[in-house]
Structure 1
Amino acid sequence: MTYASDMPTPEKALRTDGGLASELRLSVMRLRRRLAAERHPDNPLSMGQMAVLGALYRNGDQTVGELASHERVQPPSITRTVNCLAEDGYVTRGPHPTDGRQVVVTLTDEGRAVLLADRGRRDEWLSRRLAGLTAEERDVLRRATPILQRLAQTD
């Protein structure tokens, strides 16, 4: 049986790669849940739908296959998401310019507005939290951000 007193403290756990992985996983998951809780109250979209809008905003028009690859889901899942977004006017579907078998998904003005309002609210919350950190702590996060992005994008 393991007791709480037998568990390594976060400071001790961070000394090993395994401990770092565990603490980082927990911290990132908690931050993600907290940011999700800060969603705009008028936003009716799911996190998966918001991810599709975000991918279109960052990368421009994409095929369903490209969106599925980006979101690491199967094309039928993205197709359902895109269909819902299109029905509600957040995206449009159009023909691919060179491949008639594919559909190109485009972000609409309404989709962009919902995405930016939601991001703005979350960014405001995070900015307030960052303001409570020391300059040194914010600098550490500035240096860590590209590393976290690289970790998230690695297969």
Structure 2
Amino acid sequence: MTLRALPVLLLVSAAPFVLSASPPQAEGVQYAQLTIHERLIIRVPRVSPAPIRGRPAPVPPVRWDEKKGPVCIAMNTLTGAAVDREGEVDLVVGGARRVRAKLDDDCPTLDFYRGFYLKPTPDGQLCAKRDGIRSRSGAYCAVTRFRALVPRPAKK
């Protein structure tokens, strides 16, 4: 036998196993199907201003007045967030607008863990009285309403 004939002999001997239309059945074997659903969680870190060497002192913080806000916010327009007070999260929308999310009373650990998670919804919207945010400790905080934030005019 030559070395050239060896691969052909191996293929011919394995042919009955390769050409078999159904897998070999063992007695007592059951087949099951497993479906895996993908889950995506977006982490929104808390951003706090940090002084940088060689830069001028930061401008005093802006004071905000609350006005009537939207019912829902598109999640893909969120660019940042700030947790300043317990029970409230200021969301930066579209890079310039700010909206304050008022949360239910059962959300004490949100500011302690410096950040939160948003779970995407099928319609891509974060809506008051329907959705919520999850603190990094795992607590769920329902959004009760949104308030639009308008900069308070500076006193002269």
The normalised TM-score by structure 1 is 0.23
Q: Whose helix proportion is higher, 1 or 2?
A: 1
Larger RCO, structure (CA 8 Å, separation 6 or more): 2
TM-score (norm: length of structure 2) = 0.23
Which of the pair has more CA radius of gyration?
2
